[in-house]
Amino acid sequence: MSQTTRQMKSAARLYAVQALFQMEAADQGVDAVRLEFETHRFGAEIEGDELAEGDVDLFRKLLDDAVTWQAKIDQMTDRALDDAWPIKRIDPTLRAVFRAAGSELVGSETPPKVIISEYVDVTKAFFPEGKEAKFVNGVLDTVAREARSETL
C-alpha cells in the first residue's frame, strides 16, 4: 500500500470520527453529514491549511456501518468499559472513536492491530496530552477480540 493510500485511509478515519461526533452533537442524519464532509472538508483549505484528501469509499463505509451496527457496537464497547462508566457517560468524541473503530473491527478484513493503531492515533489528534489514547487502546483491544469471535 502506498504512502498516499495510507494517508487517505487515515484521513477517512479521522473524518468519520468527526462526522459521527457531529451527527450526535447536532442531531443530524448520516446523509446530510456525509454530503457536508465530502463537499466541504475533503481536501478543503481552511485558514491557509489544506485538509487531507480522504478515501471516500472507506469514509462512507465507516459511517454507514457505524450507523447500521451502532447498537451492537455500543453493546460491545459497554462490555469493555467499567460498569461505572457505560458508553453513554463517556466523552462524545470517544464515543465517536469507538463507533467508527467498532464498525471497522466488525466489517473489515484489515487486521485488528492496524485498526486499533489507527484509532489510537486519531484519539491522540483530539487528546494530545491526555490518557485517552491508552484508554482507547485497551477498550478497542477487548472489542476486537469480541468482534472477531462473532459475525454481525
Range 73-88 average pLDDT: 89
Q: Would you tell me how many other CB atoms lie within 10 Å of the CB of residue 143?
A: 25
pLDDT > 90 fraction of the chain, expressed in percent and rounded: 67
Query: Based on the structure, what is the number of domains in the chain?
Result: 1
108 CB burial (10 A radius; 0-12, 13-18, 19+): middle
Cell for 92? 462524545
pLDDT of res. 50: 56
Per-residue pLDDT tens digits for 100-141: 999 999 878 889 999 999 999 999 999 998 899 999 999 999
Distance CA 13, CA 93 (A): 13
| pLDDT tens readout for residues 45-78 | 555 555 678 899 999 999 999 999 999 999 999 9
Distance of CA 11 to the CA centre of its chain: 11
The residues that bridge with 49 in the sheet, in sequence order, are 46
Angle at 21 between CA 19 and CA 24, to 5 degrees: 110
Q: Write the single-letter amino acid at 65.
A: D
Question: What does the pLDDT read at residue 102?
Answer: 95
81: helix, coil or strand? coil
| C-alpha grid cell, residue 143 | 472489542
* CATH number of the domain to which 11 belongs: 1.10.940.10
C-alpha cell, 141: 483491544
Q: Which domain holds residue 83?
A: 3-149
User: Which grid coordinates are listed for 28?
Assistant: 443530524
Q: Does residue 140 contact residue 101 with C-beta atoms inside 8 Å?
A: yes
The C-alpha atoms of residue 5 and residue 31 are separated, in whole angstroms, by 25
Euclidean distance between CA atoms 18 and 22, whole angstroms? 6
pLDDT the model gives residue 152: 47
